[in-house]
Structure 1
Amino acid sequence: MRKIPYLHIILFIVTFLTTLTAGALQKGVNIFREPGRIIEGLPFAGTLMTILLCHELSHYIASKKHHTKATLPYFIPAPSIIGTFGAFIKMKSPIITRKALIDIGASGPIAGFIVSVIACIVGLSMSEIAPLSNTEGALSLGDSILFSFLSNVILGVAPDNHDIFLHPVAFAGWIGLFVTSLNLIPVGQLDGGHIAFAILGERHKYLSRALVIVLAILGILYWEGWALWAVLMLILGIKHPPVLYWEVPLDSKRRSIGIFTFIIFVITFIPSPFKFLP
C-alpha cells in the first residue's frame, strides 16, 4: 500500500497560502483587517503555482519515463513579495544515459516556459500603461528579450515618463520566465547544467567555471543577486556527476532540444531583474 505523501501536500497547501497572501498584498489588501479579501490574491497565486507545478511535474514524469527514481515536488513557502522560494524534486537514483539527462533536464523548463508565455500574454492584455509619477517607490522589473517583445506587441511602446503596471497574472508570468532562465544557466546540476553536460561531457566543467565568473561580474555591474547566485553555485558544486552509460549517443532530437533550451535561456535572461524607482 502506497503511503500518502503528507509532507508534499502540506508544503503545497502552505505555499499556496503564502503566494495567495503575497498576491493580496500586491493589490494593497490588509489581510489582518480584512482577511476575507485574501482571495483577491488568487490570480497571482493560481498562475504562479500552476507554472511551478507544471515545471516540476514535467521533471517527475520524465524521470519516471527513464526509470529514474524521483520524489514528488517539494514546494517552498517564503515570507516574500512572491510568497515562495520555488519548488524542486529530488533524484533518488542515478540518471542512466545522456538522452535521459536531456529529457529530464529540459522537460521542466520547457513546460514552465510554455505556461509562463501564456500567462504573460493573458496578463499583459489586462495590464495598463501608467505615468511614472504614479509608481514612485514601486518595484521596477527588468525586461528580457521575450518579455519586451510581448509587451510591445500587446501594449505598444510606453511613452516617455510612463511604464507598464503589470496585472498579477502578467507578474506571475514574468516570474515564471525569470525562474526558467535561472534554471537554464548551464552550471553544475541546474537544469541547464544537465543539458550542457549531456552535450559537452567533461568539457562542461570549464563552462561552469567561466559562467560562475560571469555571474560574479554581473553581480558587480547589474544586480547583486547574481553574485549571491555565483556563491550558491560554488557551494552546491559546479561539477556534474557522470551518467552510467555515457557511450549511448545523443540523437538529433535531443541535440535540437538542447539548442531550443539555449534559445529559451537567451531570450528570458535579464541582466538587471529588479530595481526600485526613485
Structure 2
Amino acid sequence: MPIINILLFVATIITTTLAGAMMEGVTDPFSLEGIISGLPFSITLLSILLFHEFGHYFASKRNNVTATLPYFIPAPTFIGTFGAFIKMKSPIIDRKSLLEIGAAGPIAGFLVAVPALYYGLSTSEVLESVGGAGIHLGDSIIMMILTSIIHPNIADGYDIYLSSIAFAGWIGLLVTSLNLIPIGQLDGGHIAYALFGKKHDSIAKWAFLPMIPLGYYSINWILWAILILVFIKLKHPPVVDEDAPLNVFQKWLGYISIAIFILTFIPIPFS
C-alpha cells in the first residue's frame, strides 16, 4: 500500500482546496462554506495533474519500465501545490519507450485542461478593468482561441475575470507548456531526444536562450532557468539502444506534443 503517496495526495487536496477558497474570497477557508467554494479549483487542478502523471505511469507500464505511483507536493502557495511527479525505478531502454513515456503525460493532461478551461471561461465574468488590481495572466494560442469562441466581443476597458475552474485550467496548460520545453529530462526533452537523437543538445541550448530576455518581462522565466540549470540540466542522458527506430504512431505522438507546446506556450505568464 503506497501510504506516502496517499498521504501526500490527501494533503494536496487540503492545500489546493484552501487555496481555492481564498481565491473565492471566503473569510474562513476552513469553514464548510470555504471547503465547498474551494473544491472546484482543487478537483479541476488535481484532475489535470492526475491525468498527466498517470499518462506517464501507464506508458511506463506499457513499455516495461517500472515506475512509482504519483507523488503530489502540497505547498503553502496561492495554488496550493508544487505539482506532482513519478519516479522511474528501471532504465528506459530505447528511444521508442522514451518518446511514449515523455509524450503520454502532457497529452493526457492537455485533454483534461482544455475542456476544463472551456467550461471555466463560460462561467467567468467580463467586467470593467480595474487598473493595477490583481494579477494579469498571459495568453497562449489555445487560450485566445477559446476566449474568442466564448467571449467574442469584449469591449475596450473590460477584462475576463477567471473563475476558479478556468484558472485551474489555465494553470494546467501552463504546467503542460513548461514541461514540454525541449530541455534535459523535462517531458519535452525526452520527446526531442527521441525524435532527433544527438541533435537534442543544440535544440536544448536554443530553447534555453530565450528564457533570459523573457525574464526581463516576467521573473518566472529566470526562476525556471535557474531550476533547469541546477536540477534538470540541459543535456539529456543517452538511452541504452540509440538505434531502435520510431514507428509512425510514435512519431505522431512526438509531432502532436510539439503542436501542444506551441498551442500552450505563454511568453509572459504573469504580470
Same fold (TM over 0.5): yes
Deviation at 1:63, TM superposition (A): 0.4
Number of the residue aligned with 2:127: 130
Q: Name which of 62, 67, 75 aligns with 2:64.
A: 67
Maintained 8 Å contact 1:99/1:198: yes
2:219 to 217, 221, 224: 224
Deviation at 1:128, TM superposition (A): 1.4
The answer as to 2:143 corresponding to 1:152 is: no
Q: Are 2:209 and 1:213 equivalent residues in the alignment?
A: yes
* Shift of residue 37, structure 1, vs aligned partner: 2.4
State the TM-score, normalized to the length of structure 2.
0.96
Determine helix, strand or coil for the equivalent of 1:239: coil
Which has the larger displacement, 152-161 or 114-123? 152-161
**Which of 106, 116, 128 is residue 109 of structure 1 equivalent to?**
106
| 1:31 pairs with 2:28 | yes
Which of 48, 55, 60 is equivalent to 1:58? 55
SS in 1 for 2:84: strand
Tell me the C-alpha RMSD between the 2 structures: 1.3
Residue in 1 aligned with 2:89? Answer: 92
Match for residue 185 of structure 1 among 181, 185, 188? 181
Q: 1:248 to 1:25 in 2, by over 3 A?
A: same
Which residue in the other structure is 1:172 paired with? 168
- Any conservation in 2 of the 1:213–1:230 contact (CA below 8 Å)? no
Structure 1 position 129, deviation (Å): 0.4
Q: List aligned pairs for 1:186-265, cutoff 5 A.
A: 186-220=182-216, 222-236=217-231, 237-265=233-261
CA displacement, residues 61-88 of structure 1 (integer Å, 9 cap, x when unaligned): 1101111111110101111111111101
Could you say what secondary structure the match of 1:141 adopts? coil
AA of the residue aligned to 1:178: L
TM-score, L = length of structure 1: 0.94
Conserved 8 A contact 2:18-2:29: no
Cα distance in 2 for partners of 1:63, 1:32 equals 38
Distance change >3 Å, CA 157–CA 80, structure 1 → 2: farther
Cα separation, 2, equivalents of 1:186 and 1:273: 18
Q: Which residue type is aligned with residue 122 of structure 2? A: S
Q: Give the whole-Å Cα distance in 2 for the aligned partners of 1:109 and 1:239.
A: 20
Structure 2: distance between partners of 1:161 and 1:248? 56
- Per the TM alignment, residue 34 of structure 1 is displaced from its structure 2 partner at its CA by 4.0
Residues 169 and 36 of structure 1: CA distance in aligned 2, closer, same or farther (over 3 Å): closer
Q: Measure the CA separation in 2 of the matches of 1:6 and 1:45.
A: 21
State whether structure 2 residue 263 is matched by structure 1 residue 267: yes
| C-alpha distance after superposition, 1:192-216 (max 9, x if no partner) | 0000000111111111122222212
Offset of 1:152 from its aligned partner?
A: 1.0
Q: Secondary structure at the match of 1:253?
A: helix
- % identical aligned pairs: 51
Query: Which residue of structure 2 lines up, in the alignment, with residue 82 of structure 1?
Result: 79
> What letter is aligned with 1:233?
I
- The alpha carbon displacement at 1:33 in A equals 7.7
1:42 paired with 2:39, answer yes
Residue type matched to 1:9 in 2?
Answer: I
Counterpart Cα distance in 2 of 1:210 and 1:96? 27
Equivalent of 1:163, from 159, 166, 173? 159
Moved >3 Å (runs of 4+)? 32-36
- For residues 173-225 of structure 1, the C-alpha deviation after alignment (integer angstroms, 9 at most, x for no partner) is 111111000000000000000000001111111111222222122112x2111
Count of residue pairs the alignment pairs up: 270
1:140 alignment partner, SS class: coil
**Unaligned segments of structure 1, at least 5 residues:** none
> Offset at 1:137?
1.7
Tell me, yes or no, if the aligned pair for 1:130 and 1:164 is still in contact at 8 Å: yes
